[in-house]
Amino acid sequence: MPVMTPAELWQETGRWDSMDAILFKLRDKSAHEFLVSYTHEEVVTHHARSEILSYRQLPAMVYHFQSKGRDELRPRAGLLRTREFVMKDAYSIDADAAGLDRSYELQHQAYVRIFERVGLAAVSVESDTGAMGGDVAHEFQVLTEAGDDRILICSGCDYRANNEKAQRRIVAVAGGQAAALPSEISTPGISTIDALVASLGLEAADILKTVLLKGKDGEIVAVVLPGDREVNEAKLRKLLDVGDVRFADEADFQRAGGVAGFVGPVALLARVVIDTSVGDRGYVTGANRKDQHLRDVVAGRDFQGERADVHDVREGDLCARCGGALTLRRGVEVGNIFKLGTYYSEKMGATYLAADGARKPFVMGSYGIGVGRVVQTIIETNRDDRGIVWPFAVAPFEVHLVALPMKASQVRETSDALYAMLRFEGVDILFDDREESAGVKFADADLIGIPLRVTVSTRGLAAGTIELKLRNEAEARHIATAEAGRAIADTIRRMREAR
């Protein structure tokens, strides 16, 4: 699959425009447009519609490793967030939702095994589908303070979710229906929740804040939520189907009839979104007049709007599933998997001939692992003060062969023979044949961190032995020279079996 994807494919799905802010775009000399591929759903869907004609060819899965480009505003933290990076991405193509469920479960299980094998304690959490579209998604998160994702974890059950997606159990808010109708209160110069709390002697939760935003196609959106809650951008992006949530500008305030600092939902000329945190009770809100608020405002009675969960869940909130307390942890997302469903295939007319003779859209999934950030996270969690301790499955070599010194003819001959024999046995070896001291070579071996170090030395050969030392063990073994090759091959075989 290409690094450069023709614009046409992304125009079919609309992502050419909706994801413009993060795409690297270019033109060739004939003015054809391309993007430096951000991801490959469009390309795979295109191949599927070209190659897969019948249900007999399903299910199918494809994968590749490829460089991706994302015009990130804030590259950070080494390999954690870069503008160019290598991804392993896989795609499943099924005939129906049940097939996708099976493919997704297979991939989910494979991801669990992959992260175990590479030495990462990754947990799978429910996540937002974000720019990928589709219905269901999971991220694999390594919980560490170095991460920039926020993960809610239930103390009572196995519920785990990215805060972009997390839900909570909402307990009915005290206060009941306000009997009184809204009435104005004078609040000169008091335009923040904190100031209202101080001035009126209320809790922040007694106040509704109204956030004016730009929706799609010039629409103005008012999000209404209790004063002690924060808007969750990811949930809003999804609800409003926009790539980026932007605040309303002055012209929008005028069109909507809102007054900055005193904006409220009553009689506002905007699409009103009422967060699920808003209870069935009276609140204080802005009055859309300068220096005025309203009290006893009830959602559904005094203003109308659609209900949606658009608030941040936080530490101490209750699990939506079991009611247990949620804790908030930071995490590094090392993989993510998506049930795309027919999101791409319908937009791109990617269909197959079903068993009943009908044309049906492919039901797809996509599955990604960020290779660079996985490597960085492995190193951060598998090291000691001397260097890296590579998990066997991802070590760049299996054996680090050290000759001491290379210029001694017996050392050289024995090392060369051992190297050749192990290569033919299919063992991956890094051979340190430099003219350096034992201290330098051992320090480099520890730094690089290959699982098994094999040392052929003048002193060892005089005693008839070769030294084997595992990077993650303190003690070395000394094996008779003639048996060393076999012993090394056997050790590697056992490590392969265990990984």
Which residues of this protein are in contact with a copy of itself, per CB under 8 A?
2-4, 21, 24-26, 28-29, 34, 36, 66-67, 69, 71, 73, 83-84, 423-427, 492-493, 496-497
CA distance 232 to 164: 7
Taking the least distance from each CB to a copy of itself, the nearer of 69 and 134 is 69
Please, what is the minimum distance in Å from the beta carbon of residue 355 to a copy of itself?
18
CA distance 331 to 377: 11
Taking the least distance from each CB to a copy of itself, the nearer of 68 and 168 is 68
Taking the least distance from each CB to a copy of itself, the nearer of 317 and 398 is 398
Taking the least distance from each CB to a copy of itself, the nearer of 64 and 386 is 64
Cα angle: 279, vertex 285, 289; to 5 degrees = 160
Q: What is the DSSP letter of 27?
A: E
Please, what is the minimum distance in Å from the beta carbon of residue 126 to a copy of itself?
31
**Where are the strands (E) in 267-374, listed by range?**
271-275, 282-286, 292-298, 306-308, 318-319, 326-341, 351-353, 359-361, 363-370
Say if strands 246-247 and 220-226 run parallel, antiparallel, or are unpaired.
unpaired
CA distance 111 to 335: 8
Cβ pair 361, 394 in contact under 8 A? no
Cβ pair 204, 227 in contact under 8 A? yes
Cβ pair 457, 477 in contact under 8 A? no
Please, what is the minimum distance in Å from the beta carbon of residue 128 to a copy of itself?
23
Taking the least distance from each CB to a copy of itself, the nearer of 221 and 427 is 427
What SS3 state is found at 98? helix
Q: Which sign does the torsion angle of CA 37, 39, 42, 48 carry?
A: positive
Taking the least distance from each CB to a copy of itself, the nearer of 325 and 443 is 443
Taking the least distance from each CB to a copy of itself, the nearer of 2 and 176 is 2
Taking the least distance from each CB to a copy of itself, the nearer of 29 and 407 is 29
Please, what is the minimum distance in Å from the beta carbon of residue 432 to a copy of itself?
17
Please, what is the minimum distance in Å from the beta carbon of residue 79 to a copy of itself?
13
- The DSSP string of 121-182 is -EEEEE---GGG-SSEEEEEEEE-TT--EEEEEESSSS-EEETTT--EEPPPPTT---SSPP
Please, what is the minimum distance in Å from the beta carbon of residue 492 to a copy of itself?
8
Please, what is the minimum distance in Å from the beta carbon of residue 313 to a copy of itself?
31
Taking the least distance from each CB to a copy of itself, the nearer of 171 and 417 is 417
Please, what is the minimum distance in Å from the beta carbon of residue 390 to a copy of itself?
18
CA distance 25 to 34: 6
Cβ pair 456, 415 in contact under 8 A? yes
Cβ pair 282, 294 in contact under 8 A? no
Please, what is the minimum distance in Å from the beta carbon of residue 131 to a copy of itself?
16
